[in-house]
Amino acid sequence: MLSVYFQGFALGVALILPLGPQNAFVLNQGVRQQYHLMTATLCTLSDIILISAGVFGGSALLNQSPLLLNLVTWGGVAFLLWYGWGALRTAISADISLVSTQLKQQSRWRIIATLVAVTWLNPHVYLDTFVVLGSLGGQLPAEARRWFALGTASASFFWFFSLALLAAWLSPRLSTPGAQRIINLFVGVVMWFIALKLALQGFAGLH
C-alpha cells in the first residue's frame, strides 16, 4: 500500500504547487508572522475534508449540480477581486509601514473568515479534489483508497507548513517597505489573474 500512498502524495504535490489563492494567503501571513501556523493548519484541514469528500464519493455531487459550481465560481470571482484590490491598494499606499501595522492588528476571526473564503470559494479546489482526485481514487479498492487519500492529505500538510515556516523565517528580509510593496503587488496580481480565469470559465459554462 506504500506505493499507493506515494502515488497520492506525488499527485497531491503536483496539484498544490501551482500558485493559487491559498498559497498566496499562506505566504502573506507567514511574512507578517500573523497566525501563520494557524493558517497552515486550517488550509490542511480544509484540504483533508475536500480530499476525503472527493475520494470517497463527493465528486458525484459536483458533476450533478452545474448550478452549485456556478455559484461557487462567481462567488470566488467576487471575493478574489475584492481581496486582490486590498493587496494592490496596500502596495500603492503612501505609508505602507502604517498600513502593514494595521493589517497585523486584524483579528484572528477575520483571518479565519478570509481563509475560509480563499479556500471554499475557489472552484479549482473542487475540480482538483472532487474531479481529479475523486476520479482516480474512486477507482481503487476501499483499503487502497484510504492510503491514496492519506498520501494526498500528507502532501497538503507538508506543503502548507513548509510555506508558512519558510515565509516566517524570511520575514525579517521580506518585511521592509520595498519588499512589502512587491509582495502585495504580486498577491494582488495573482488574485486578479485567477479571478479573470474563473470569470472566463464561468462565461464559457453559460454557453
pLDDT tens string 120-145: 887 778 777 877 777 777 777 878 88
pLDDT tens string 16-50: 877 678 888 888 888 888 888 999 999 999 999 98
Q: 66 is written with which cell numbers?
A: 452545474
Where do the domains of the chain lie? 2-65+92-179
Mean pLDDT of the 143-160 span: 92
Q: What is the CA radius of gyration of the chain?
A: 18
Mean pLDDT of the 55-76 span: 69
Q: Residues 51, 129, 119, CA angle at the centre, nearest 5°?
A: 85
Q: 113 is written with which cell numbers?
A: 473568515
Residue 58 has pLDDT above 70, yes or no: no
Cβ proximity of 165 and 30 under 8 Å: yes
pLDDT, greater one: 12 or 105: 12
Buried b (16+ CB within 10 A) or exposed e, 19-57: ebbbbbbbbbbbbbbbbbeebbebbbebbbebbbbbbee
Residue 174 has pLDDT above 50, yes or no: yes
pLDDT band at 98 (very low <50, low <70, confident <90, very high): very low
Spatial distance between the Cα atoms of 33 and 38, rounded to a whole number of angstroms: 11
What pTM value is reported for the model?
Answer: 0.74
Mean pLDDT of the 74-93 span: 80
Q: Where are the alpha helices (DSSP H) in 17-53?
A: 21-32, 36-53
